[in-house]
């Protein structure tokens, strides 16, 4: 009988925690396994933020270098390893966007770079890994349907574009208290779906 997505996710969490412990002991094979598992999933997320395949490949290198150097900083309070890596991806992408915006302000636009040799070398996760992660992604998609249009828009602007709650209040001409309440409610709805079932 096929495992439920929730059971598979719990198994992934245990395996991921073990990979991070091995990475702390400088086990390169563990890093490679973590990369193979999550790079295919993080790539579309990074691409949405950077808008460039090349920039996303560089971004993922930074993310997994961070995992290599800071595996010891991961704790259960970060949520799953997948959630932690997603947070690192977002933070690194935001840094890149701010840096790029600053360069444009200074009139020092980046010249287009030639595509790297690794562009054609895509990492492939095991089929069962992709199926499980797609199942988790489907759960998230379904949970997004429970959000109101405003809750979804606020979370998108905050998460993908880095807008602060104060910025959102000014931009949308909605009281700051309402923005905070709507975002809190939206996040709670997502957490209800994302939280693994524990018995």
Same domain flag for 29 and 102: yes
Phi/psi zone of residue 51: left (φ > 0), alpha (ψ -120 to 50 degrees), beta? left
CATH code of residue 152: 1.10.10.10
- Domain range for 87 is 1-106+123-133
Same domain flag for 13 and 97: yes
The average pLDDT across 78-102 equals 83
* Predicted confidence (pLDDT) at residue 150 exceeds the cutoff of 90: no
Neighbours of 130 (CB within 10 A): 15
Give dist(CA 174, CA 165) in Å, integer. 10
Q: What is the pLDDT of residue 3?
A: 55
CATH code of residue 52: 1.10.1740.10
Same domain flag for 12 and 70: yes
Same domain flag for 169 and 91: no
Same domain flag for 128 and 171: no
* Predicted confidence (pLDDT) at residue 191 exceeds the cutoff of 50: yes
Q: What is the DSSP letter of 52?
A: -
| Residue 114 falls inside a structural domain | no
pTM tops 0.75, yes or no: no
| Residue 198 falls inside a structural domain | yes
Give dist(CA 104, CA 98) in Å, integer. 10
Q: Could you report the per-residue pLDDT of 111-131, keeping only the tens digit for each?
A: 444 333 333 334 444 444 444
| Residue 111 falls inside a structural domain | no
Query: Structural domain tally of the chain?
Result: 2
| Residue 139 falls inside a structural domain | no
Same domain flag for 97 and 192: no
Which pLDDT band, with edges at 50, 70 and 90, does 44 fall under? confident
53 vs 103, more confident: 53
Same domain flag for 160 and 98: no
| Residue 172 falls inside a structural domain | yes
Q: What is the pLDDT of residue 108?
A: 53
Q: What is the pLDDT of residue 63?
A: 92
Same domain flag for 127 and 176: no
């Amino acid at each position: 009988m096929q495992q439920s997505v929730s059971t598979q996710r719990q198994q992934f969490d245990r395996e991921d925690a073990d990979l991070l412990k091995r990475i702390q002991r400088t086990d390169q094979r563990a890093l490679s396994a973590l990369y193979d598992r999550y790079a295919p999933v993080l790539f579309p997320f990074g691409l949405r933020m950077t808008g460039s395949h090349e920039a996303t490949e560089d971004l993922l290198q930074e993310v997994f270098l961070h995992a290599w150097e800071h595996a010891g900083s991961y704790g259960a309070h970060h949520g799953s390893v997948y959630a932690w890596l997603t947070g690192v991806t977002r933070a690194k992408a935001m840094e890149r966007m701010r840096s790029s915006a600053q360069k444009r302000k200074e009139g020092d636009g980046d010249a287009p770079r030639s595509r790297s040799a690794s562009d054609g070398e895509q990492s492939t996760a095991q089929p069962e890994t992709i199926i499980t992660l797609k199942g988790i992604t489907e759960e998230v998609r379904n949970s997004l349907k429970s959000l109101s249009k405003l809750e979804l828009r606020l979370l998108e602007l905050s998460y993908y574009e880095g807008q602060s709650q104060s910025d959102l209040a000014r931009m949308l001409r909605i009281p700051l208290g309402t923005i905070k309440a709507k975002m809190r409610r939206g996040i709670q709805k997502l957490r209800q779906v994302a939280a693994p079932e524990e018995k």
